[in-house]
Structure formats: structure tokens, C-alpha cells
Structure 1
Amino acid sequence: MASSNRSRRVPTGQLLFGGIIVLTGVLLLLETTGVVSTRDALLYVPSLFVLVGVWSLLQSRLRNLVGPVVLIGVAGAWQLVVLDYTTVDDVVAFWPVLVIVFGLSVLLGQYRSAVRETNDDYTNSFVAFGGVEKRNTSTQFTGGDLTAIFGGTELDLRDAAIADRPAQVNAVALFGGVDVVVPREWNVRLDVLPVLGGASDDRARAEHRNEDVDLVVSGFAAFGGVTITD
């Protein structure tokens, strides 16, 4: 259980991303209501998204490069424009770089395994402009945080076991997709809020399904989807 506790103490990319959204909303509210002028602070919001990209690189130990690099590049360019170091026209001139990065992501996908195996009790996956597949083999799986922004992530739990039911997975899909693969006999409760998106359990009907809830999948999907498969 020690590995699970360590995983919970480390801030995830999803936690940072959500915190930045909340902070940005608070700053905007203070500005629009005239309570406090936060215009100067709002100028540096893009740098916070750069921080999310850097943290995602470190958290993945540089195994997930494309998505975080794109996020860092886009947010960094946005910050330079906001601070008047460059113009939108100058930045737009470099849009083919995104095509190059996309091509590199396809090439890299051909030369390295797309599935990453982990035995941690708690699984984190933050994907932006890319894709990551993870297989969890823990015998005491407790849950995870899965976030896909303009990309996709999959968590395979068919080789995992749950010691204390129900396990809890929080899934966020923004213009992307989150897939959770579970054994057909698992009883899964889907509590995902779809906002112009979708959430579904696409498993075939099982002859025998556990009476107690094995896994709760919560979160939300906006212009994306969260899917349970087997």
C-alpha cells in the first residue's frame, strides 16, 4: 500500500490542470465584478499551462513527449503574444510545426511499445495532443486519474485485482477519449457527466456479473467520450 500512498501524494497533471482552470476562473470573476483588479495576474496564465506540460513530461519520465511538448509550445507562444514579445501573425507562420510534430508522433508510435505496464495501486495518466495506453497488474488496485485533452488514453485492468471495493477512477475527456478496459464480470458504476459528449459501458452482457460494485468511474466528458470496454 506504500506505493499507493506515494502516488496519492504526488500532484498529477490532472490536478494541476484543474487547479489552473479554477484559479483562472477566480481571477476572471474578481476582474469582471470589480472586486480586485487581476488584469496583471491574468497576463501570466499561459505560463501556468506551460507548467502543466513540463510537469507531465517529468511525471511520464520523458516517455510521453509529443503531447506535453505541443502544450508547452502552444502555451509558450500564447504567453509571448500576451506579453507583446511577438505577434499572432508571427506565431501563425509557424503552424506547420504542428504538422511536423504530429508526423513525429506517428513515427515514434511505430518504434516503441504503445502499452506501458504498471503495478502501482493508483494509476495516473495525463494526455494532451497524443495517446497513451497503460496496463495495470496490481493485486491491490485502488483507482486512478485519467485525463485526455485532444488525445486519448486507455487503462487496461483485466490483469488487476481489487482488494477494497469499490475502486475509484476519475476520468476527464476534453475533445478526446478515455477507455477503461475491465473484466466482463466486474460490476462497474458509471457516474460520468457528459457535456456535449458521451459516456457508455460497451461490454457485452455477461452471464455472471458481481453483485457488489467493483469499480466506480466518475468525471465528465466534453466534446469527447468515456467508455468502459472488455
Structure 2
Amino acid sequence: MEQRANKGFYVGMIFIAVGAILMLQRLNLIPWSLTDILISWQMLLIAIGAIMLRNGSQVKGIILIGVGTFFILPEIFDVPYELRRVYWPALLVLVGVALVYRQRGGHRQLYHGVEGKTFDEFDDFVIFGGREIFITSKQLRGGRSTSVFGGIEYDFRQAGLAPEGAVIDCTCLFGGTGLKVPPDWNVRNEITTIFGAFTDKRGDSFQQGQLDPAKTVVIKGITLFGGVEIKHV
């Protein structure tokens, strides 16, 4: 409830800011050119990134602010040709630095997923490629999945959850993550989607009464031009 209240607060602040900017523009206090910059999808990414930094999601916040800044700079400045040539590589460097910081910032040891291996936590990273991982742990606590211009698919159908459940943090940047889960798992969506999607395709394969509240997995993270998909088969 507290998390939902915080999201409502921030969404409300964004609406207030947009309304105030439009009012100032209608009163001819700020020019249209500035309004177009302040009310844009790039500025929305920067605002969401700042909110995530405020809430402690440093890596996701840095990525969103970097992408938003990357696309909004040409709207503000006449970017020289020499700088435009290194624009995309610079963005990749920024994302890479954020991901390296995330890997080094972990406080617990996590294990890199290997097909068919049993472990209780995982931390997987894919870039420009794909990977399929089978997890058979009976005390799964969760982990992290990062896909950049690639995809990861997990098969949890032979796995069991820890008594406290599991939390899976997914970061999909121009990529995707697929999760095959048992029919009685209760999946709670807390993904932030920006030009992306979260899809639960189990609707045709299970009945609502099958879900076990004691077996809850929380899917967190962010999809930017990517997606997370839940399925049973």
C-alpha cells in the first residue's frame, strides 16, 4: 500500500508539473519551443529516472536519465557532426558503466545461471544474444536478469519457492525476459514499463483458483523498449 501511495504521489506531481507548464505557456510566460522540450517523452524518461534515483534504484535511474538526455540534447543544441558520430557509443558506455556498477554493488554473492544448474539465487546478463536457463532449486529466493539487445528465458516449472517467496529483478533494454512458471505460482507485477510491456499469457492454461498465495513471486524492474512475459508452457 505504501509503495502504491508513493507511485500515486509521483504521478500526481508529474500531472501538476505538466499542467503548470501548459498554463504558463497559455499565459505567454514561456515560449512554445521550451514547452515542447519540457513536455516530451525524453523529459518523461528523465523525470522517471530522477524518481528512481530518489527511491534508491540507482542503476535504473542512471539508465533512464542517460537515455532521456541522449535523445533530448539534439532538440536543445545543434550537435556537431563529430559529436554525433560518438553519440551512440557514448550511450552504450553509459549503460555499461551503470551495469558494471550494479554488478559490483551487490552485497550478497549470486551465482551465474548455467543451464540445468540448481541454485537458490541467480544473476544473469545477456547482450546481443540469447540464453535459456533451467532452474530446479526447491528454495528459490529470486535474482536478477539483465538483457540488452538480447533475450533470456527461464524455466522454473521444476523449481520451488522459499517460504518467504521470491523477488526477481528484470532489466530489459531493447531486450526481453521470458519466465515459465508452475500453474500455482502467484505472480505479482511491479515492473515499470516504458515503451515496453509486461504480459501474462497463462490465462488460457490455468484457473484463478489454482493460485497459491503462499507461493508468491514478485517481478520488479524496468523494461525500456523491451518486455517481460509470463507463461506456463
* Change in 2 beyond 3 A, CA 1:122/1:208: same
Residues 1:222 and 2:224 aligned together: yes
Alignment of 1:1-230 (within 5 A): 21=63, 46=93, 49=96, 116-203=115-202, 204-206=205-207, 208-230=210-232
Unaligned runs of 5+ in 1: 1-14, 29-43, 64-114
* Change in 2 beyond 3 A, CA 1:191/1:47: closer
Give the Cα separation in 2 of the matches to 1:141 and 1:51.
27
Give the Cα separation in 1 of the matches to 2:146 and 2:98.
16
Give the Cα separation in 1 of the matches to 2:144 and 2:98.
19
Identity of paired residues, percent?
33
Give yes or no for contact 1:124–1:146 (8 Å, CA) kept in 2.
Answer: yes
Give the Cα separation in 2 of the matches to 1:136 and 1:215.
14
Give yes or no for contact 2:63–2:95 (8 Å, CA) kept in 1.
Answer: no
Unaligned runs of 5+ in 2: 1-56, 71-89, 104-109
Give the Cα separation in 1 of the matches to 2:145 and 2:98.
18
Give the Cα separation in 1 of the matches to 2:224 and 2:129.
17
Give yes or no for contact 1:158–1:183 (8 Å, CA) kept in 2.
Answer: yes
Q: Which amino acid aligns with 1:147?
A: T
* Change in 2 beyond 3 A, CA 1:209/1:50: closer
SS in 1 for 2:219: strand
CA shift, 1:21, in A, is 4.4
**Which structure's relative contact order is higher, taking Cα pairs within 8 Å and 6+ residues apart?**
1
Deviations 1:116-156 (A, max 9, x none): 12211101111111011111111111001011111100111
Give the Cα separation in 1 of the matches to 2:64 and 2:137.
33
CA shift, 1:18, in A, is 5.4
Give yes or no for contact 2:136–2:156 (8 Å, CA) kept in 1.
Answer: yes
Give the Cα separation in 1 of the matches to 2:146 and 2:128.
11
Give yes or no for contact 1:17–1:49 (8 Å, CA) kept in 2.
Answer: no
Q: Which amino acid aligns with 1:119?
A: T
* Change in 2 beyond 3 A, CA 1:22/1:173: closer
Structure-1-length-normalised TM-score: 0.52
Structure-2-length-normalised TM-score: 0.52
Number of matched residues? Answer: 144
Give yes or no for contact 1:188–1:217 (8 Å, CA) kept in 2.
Answer: yes
Give yes or no for contact 1:146–1:172 (8 Å, CA) kept in 2.
Answer: yes
Q: Which amino acid aligns with 2:190?
A: D
Give yes or no for contact 1:165–1:215 (8 Å, CA) kept in 2.
Answer: no
CA shift, 1:186, in A, is 0.9
RMSD: 3.6
SS in 1 for 2:210: coil
* Change in 2 beyond 3 A, CA 1:195/1:51: closer
Give the Cα separation in 1 of the matches to 2:99 and 2:224.
20
